[in-house]
Structure 1
Amino acid sequence: MQEQEQAIQLNKTRRLATGLLLAMAILFVVSRLLQPRYHYLSFVSAFAEAAMVGALADWFAVTALFRSPLGLPIPHTAIIPRNKDRIGDSLSNFLEHNFMTQEIIRDELRMIDFAGAAAGWLAKPENSYAVSRQVVRSVPALLKVVEDEDVRQFMQNRLSSALEHTKFAPVLAEILSVLVASGHHRALFQHMISLAARALEHNKPYIRWKIHEHSPRWMPRAFDEKLYVRLLEAIQSTLDEMRDEDSEWQTRFQGFADELVDQLRTSPEYEAKIHAVLGDILKHPLVRDYTVEVWHDIKSRLVADALSPTSQMQVKLNQAISSFGNELLRDKKVQRKLNQWIRIFATETIVGRRQDIADLVSRVIRKWDADTMSRKLELHVGKDLQYIRINGTLVGGLVGLVLHAITLLLWSSGA
């Protein structure tokens, strides 16, 4: 669209310059024919003649930039097509060393308030809503790209990596030491005894049956019953003894708890065992399937919410964006820091890549053929060059008129 407009303007100006040349030619011919009858037309003839010379000279100069005038192989014409690559390298070098410097870019960026503009834009409700809506709408498409197996593998790898770099034994030791210091291990021991007592009470018939089943056939039934009663009494007596806080059982359990805490703190074997158990758990098919199910549930919930007209994600995101914009808009100190960071980052990035950017100009121009190069440059500067033809016509005519007047003055003085 821009090139079409440029072509229209160029053709209009070119026709004006060419029309002025033709007008000077017609004026020259007419004035020369009528000059014998009207001597004052010599001034007109001199103006038209010099104007034609100036117009033709400038036409030749302008045309020689882009092509050979009249298609003739005149030396030092078609300058741009013949020197396309050299012009591209010169433009590239000029751009690199005169535009993309630290000083120029830093000065230009200093006038731009990036953070303030962004904050003001985000603070407007319609803009924060548009951004949040666009982000939420992209969620389903983004989730479709993500493979379930990749997510499972990623989660498992992250968990494995976390386990690998985490020491669980010292953590468990600290937890147990706190529990032991608070006496919770005694409550646990009493709870275990109570569980054993209830299990004994509920399984008395089973114990009696087992004793009868394993007794010899010749053993009297009464003997089995006595054995059963004595066994229950012994077990019950032991449980009662274990409940006593000063019993040997309590002392042994205390020693076991203290030893376990010490082993967890110092023994690498315990750490290795814990890692082995956790590793086996993570590799178990149930854990793998559960991970996939969790991901499916998360994904379905995210998609459903993203497609909902009353999406909670969008509401929260909209609030966050709007709040961020308003907070940033009020905090001038943060704005200055952000602007400074953006300027430094942009300047370092552009200057660091200026050779690549400049080389891009050179590479693109090298890919163009000669006609494309000439056409593009002529479209951009051709209109101004046509005005040079127009000015050359008028200035040449005025110079010719002055020279003619001087000639007549000298001739009359000599006579």
Structure 2
Amino acid sequence: MAEATRTAEPGLLTEADADKLRGLTRMKALATGLLVFVAVVYALATWAEHAGAGAWAGYVAAAAEAGMVGALADWFAVTALFRRPLGLPIPHTAIIPTKKDQLGRSLGDFVGENFLAEDVVRQKLRSIGLGDRLGAWLSRPESAERVTAELATALRGGLTVLRDADVQAVLAEAITRRAEAQEISPALGRLLEKTVADDGHRRFVDLMCAQAAEWLGKHRDAVLTAVEGGAPGWTPRFVDRRVGDRVHRELLRFVTEMRDAPDHPARAALDRFLTDFAAKLQGDEETRARVEKLKTDFIGRPEVQELIASAWGALRSMIVTAAEDERSALRRRATEAVLTLGARLSSDERLRDKLDGWVADATVHVVSGYRAEITSVITDTVASWDARTTSRKIELHIGRDLQFIRLNGTVIGSLAGLVIHAVTTAAGG
């Protein structure tokens, strides 16, 4: 009994066990005190009976004697659960220390069969009404903002953990592999064909003609220099300048007319060229092979690879900035999406049933597939305790209630002894 009055051993019993230990100690002291009390009463009543105090002394002595027997018997029964009474090797005592591992396995099996059964899990989840509760909670603006804030924190944390170099390498490799695996010529051909058919290229042609006319108007000397540089050395200089001037005027006239005349023959020729080129992109093997080689060479250039890799840095910075700013469009849209989801869950019974079903199926899958691993937490934990610690922990949790058995045994024993003495006296009288 003195063992339970010691303080909890460091590393064996937790700080939370301190209150239980004090309560157990008080109850043991009370039960033991009652045993001492009836023993003293028995001694005094027996002395009084022998001294001729009267018949009442016999009744008191009999009650006290039976109370002592009941108290000692129940003390033995309670103590035998946790240790050997008086250290004696009595069979079927110290039950918990000797049966520790078996008790752990039985407890694990009990939890697995009665708390982790599929029907029990489904019934419990169905009674919770998760979809309804979640919808009501998400429908509140403060809840939606909290969810958005938590998602933003998780997003920032995830992006912070990721190494930019690793992500950039993976991103560049994925884009490169996808681009190399996908032939672009047919798609480009179809796009160009549709663009020409819808006159979508006209604005681009207008822009090029306007820019060419503007450039020729401002750079006459550049044209003259180019013509003079390509002329034979034996031609007179004034002839070269006249030829250059004529070339400049003709070029300027050509692009001006092409700019101002939507039905210019050059525009029609350009349309035919683009239409033919679109057809070749889709059906001509040689053209398609050239385009694919050009694509591969373009993607393989270091500048392009660096551009692909740098895109991650810009995207990451944009996402982190938006996640940190409570007034950003990303945060606002996320909050609106959460509120919308909450409203749908609150109003759409089918959606709630689907959510409840998904949660139930997922939980049952985990419980059914990992029941042994879950219950092994109990059995392995109990098995890892030494026998003395296990006995101490269990005694701290239920020992206080068990002391009432000792108290009840003393009181009931006294009453039983009193009744037996009374009946015996009456029968003998």
Shift of 1:35: 1.1
Shift of 1:181: 3.4
Q: Counterpart amino acid of 2:279?
A: D
* Partner residue in 2 for 1:329: 346
Out of 16, 22, 30, which is 1:16 matched to?
30
Contact 2:105–2:379 at 8 Å: present in 1 too? yes
Q: Which structure ranks higher in relative contact order (CA pairs < 8 Å, sequence separation ≥ 6)? A: 1
* Segment drifting more, 325-334 vs 49-58: 325-334
Q: List alignment gaps of at least 5 residues for structure 2.
A: 1-14
Contact 2:139–2:342 at 8 Å: present in 1 too? yes
* Partner residue in 1 for 2:422: 405
For 1:191-202, list aligned pairs within 5 A. Answer: none
* Partner residue in 1 for 2:39: 25
Contact 1:136–1:313 at 8 Å: present in 2 too? no
* 1:271-328, Cα deviation, whole Å (9 max, x unpaired): 5544443444344333344345544444444444555575554444334333432342
Contact 1:152–1:288 at 8 Å: present in 2 too? no
Distance between the aligned counterparts of 1:218 and 1:312, measured in 2? 71
Q: List alignment gaps of at least 5 residues for structure 1.
A: none
Shift of 1:406: 3.5
Distance between the aligned counterparts of 1:185 and 1:310, measured in 2? 41
Shift of 1:229: 8.5
Distance between the aligned counterparts of 2:339 and 2:234, measured in 1? 91
* Partner residue in 2 for 1:91: 107
SS in 1 for 2:81: helix
For 1:277-356, list aligned pairs within 5 A. Answer: 277-291=294-308, 293-308=310-325, 310=327, 312-356=329-373
Distance between the aligned counterparts of 1:147 and 1:323, measured in 2? 34
Q: Counterpart amino acid of 1:5?
A: D
Distance between the aligned counterparts of 2:250 and 2:335, measured in 1? 72
For 1:51-70, list aligned pairs within 5 A. Answer: 51-70=67-86
* Partner residue in 1 for 2:406: 389
For 1:225-264, list aligned pairs within 5 A. Answer: 256-264=273-281
* Segment drifting more, 85-94 vs 397-406: 397-406
Shift of 1:67: 0.9
Distance between the aligned counterparts of 2:274 and 2:74, measured in 1? 105
Q: Does 1:151 align with 2:167?
A: yes
* Segment drifting more, 58-67 vs 162-171: 162-171
Query: Once superposed, what is the RMSD of the aligned Cα atoms?
Result: 3.9
Shift of 1:398: 2.7
Distance 1:35 1:137, change over 3 A: same
Contact 1:163–1:275 at 8 Å: present in 2 too? no
Paired residues, number:
411
Distance 1:54 1:207, change over 3 A: closer
Shift of 1:27: 1.4
Distance between the aligned counterparts of 1:214 and 1:334, measured in 2? 78
Distance between the aligned counterparts of 1:208 and 1:125, measured in 2? 72
**What TM-score do the two structures reach when normalised by structure 1?**
0.81
Distance 1:396 1:165, change over 3 A: farther
- Name the % identity: 32
Distance 1:157 1:363, change over 3 A: same
Distance between the aligned counterparts of 1:339 and 1:309, measured in 2? 32
* Partner residue in 1 for 2:11: none
Q: Does 1:127 align with 2:137?
A: no
Out of 64, 86, 91, which is 1:75 matched to?
91
Contact 2:62–2:417 at 8 Å: present in 1 too? yes
Shift of 1:394: 2.1
Contact 2:139–2:339 at 8 Å: present in 1 too? yes
**What TM-score do the two structures reach when normalised by structure 2?**
0.79
Q: Counterpart amino acid of 1:285?
A: P
* Partner residue in 2 for 1:35: 49
Shift of 1:151: 2.9
SS in 2 for 1:111: helix
Contact 2:210–2:256 at 8 Å: present in 1 too? no
For 1:171-186, list aligned pairs within 5 A. Answer: 171-182=187-198
SS in 2 for 1:35: helix
Distance between the aligned counterparts of 1:394 and 1:156, measured in 2? 84
* Segment drifting more, 10-19 vs 304-313: 304-313
* Segment drifting more, 367-376 vs 333-342: 333-342
Shift of 1:253: 6.0
Contact 2:131–2:352 at 8 Å: present in 1 too? yes
* 1:58-83, Cα deviation, whole Å (9 max, x unpaired): 11111111111122232322111112
